[in-house]
């Protein structure tokens, strides 16, 4: 009769173990479900983000492809043009900061297309080495205003100053010259006397040894200058004999050898008024680079009885002389 009780006791002992097993199984299921949920949520999030990016890229590409290509090209060209304009403006600003200024607030500076050289305010043609006539400026021309610019003046073998050139009063019908400038005036700012010029009252020994006839002159001036820049000096002699009334200008090379007599005048070619003596002198000559080629030209003023003088341009380079020589000056009316 005691056996059934033992069975009941065993059943009661097994019941908690069964409950524990069931609870453990449910917990594992929940844990697995939670892990699956996390993984699924992550996958879904990744999918949504990736899909959204693809849609955005697609819409952006469609938008760009629908834009007119001309607009894109014009925007690029405008950007490049703006960069170029900015660079040009910077260069112009730098040039304006280094350009010479004049004291005249109303100064007008109009750039010329080519070099302008003036001799006593008249236009000097430096394109050829020859005896050339000086030209007036015709104010009736539409281009006459281009000569109202800043000039750089030279005289007596040195730079003087820069000034704004102005029109003179009318000399002939519509014809004027440029005032407010020096003897030789140049429209561009470069070193027109790149090498030193020395003037002495004697004849250098090397010249005297090879030209004994210079002793016949009682007035002597020698211009010593390296005309062509080869490192050796040339000599320009200005000679006058006050007894005979003869004067001349002669070019001698670095070895003392006479190259040529450039110009001369004798007493019989003076004006009939004997009180007006005229000798060629330093006032008749300048040595200056008038065409900006690095070689200093000889600029000779040739007097005439009436009107303006003419100017003889000569270039000596590496032993060769270009220009007119042996000019016989005259102050007699023709």
Per-residue model confidence as pLDDT tens digits over 248-297? 999 999 999 999 999 999 999 998 766 678 999 999 999 999 999 999 99
Largest distance between two CA atoms of the chain: 185
The pLDDT of residue 21 is above 90: no
- pLDDT band of residue 101 (cuts 50, 70, 90) is very low
- Tokens 């003076």 map to which residue? 270
Is the model more confident about 50 or about 295?
295
Per-residue CA distances from 187 to 9, 130, 240 (Å): 132, 21, 35
Is the model more confident about 300 or about 31?
300
Summary mean pLDDT of the chain: 81
Among candidate residues 214, 222, 223, 144, the one with its CA nearest the CA of residue 176: 144
- 288-317: average pLDDT: 96
**Least trusted range by pLDDT, from 56-60, 69-73, 295-299, 318-322:** 69-73
Question: Partners of 285 in the beta sheet?
Answer: 300
The CA distance from 54 to 69, in Å, is 24
pTM of the model: 0.67
297, 269 in Cβ contact below 8 A? no
- CB atoms closer than 10 angstroms to residue 205: 9
- pLDDT band of residue 128 (cuts 50, 70, 90) is very high
What are the strands of the beta sheet with 219-225, ordered from one edge?
198-200, 219-225, 234-241, 246-252, 258-265, 327-328
- pLDDT band of residue 35 (cuts 50, 70, 90) is low
The stretches of the chain forming alpha helices (DSSP H) are: 3-66, 69-98, 205-210
The CA distance from 148 to 138, in Å, is 13
DSSP conformation class of 2: -
């Amino acid at each position: 009769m005691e056996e059934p009780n033992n069975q009941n006791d065993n059943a009661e002992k097994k019941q908690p173990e069964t409950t524990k097993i069931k609870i453990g199984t449910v917990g594992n299921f929940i844990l697995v479900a939670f892990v699956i949920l996390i993984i699924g949520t992550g996958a879904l999030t990744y999918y949504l983000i990736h899909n959204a990016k693809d849609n955005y890229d697609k819409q952006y590409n469609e938008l760009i492809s629908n834009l007119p290509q001309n607009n894109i090209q014009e925007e690029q060209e405008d950007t490049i043009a703006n960069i170029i304009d900015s660079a040009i403006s910077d260069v112009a600003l730098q040039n304006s900061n280094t350009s010479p200024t004049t004291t005249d607030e109303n100064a007008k500076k109009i750039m010329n297309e080519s070099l302008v050289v003036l001799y006593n305010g008249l236009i000097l043609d430096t394109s050829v080495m020859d005896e050339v006539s000086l030209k007036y400026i015709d104010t009736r021309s539409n281009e006459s205003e281009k000569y109202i610019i800043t000039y750089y003046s030279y005289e007596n073998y040195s730079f003087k100053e820069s000034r704004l050139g102005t029109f003179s009063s009318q000399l002939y019908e519509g014809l004027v010259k440029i005032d407010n400038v020096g003897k030789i005036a140049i429209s561009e700012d470069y070193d027109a006397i790149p090498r030193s010029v020395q003037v002495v009252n004697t004849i250098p020994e090397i010249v005297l040894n090879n030209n004994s006839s210079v002793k016949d002159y009682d007035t002597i001036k020698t211009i010593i200058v390296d005309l062509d820049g080869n490192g050796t000096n040339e000599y320009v002699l200005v000679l006058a004999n006050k007894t005979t009334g003869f004067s001349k200008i002669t070019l001698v090379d670095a070895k003392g050898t006479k190259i040529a007599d450039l110009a001369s005048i004798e007493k019989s070619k003076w004006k009939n008024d004997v009180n007006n003596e005229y000798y060629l002198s330093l006032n008749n000559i300048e040595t200056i680079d008038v065409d900006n080629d690095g070689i200093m030209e000889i600029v000779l003023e040739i007097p005439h009885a009436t009107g303006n003088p003419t100017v003889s341009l000569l270039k000596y380079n590496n032993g060769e002389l270009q220009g007119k020589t042996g000019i016989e000056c005259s102050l007699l009316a023709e």
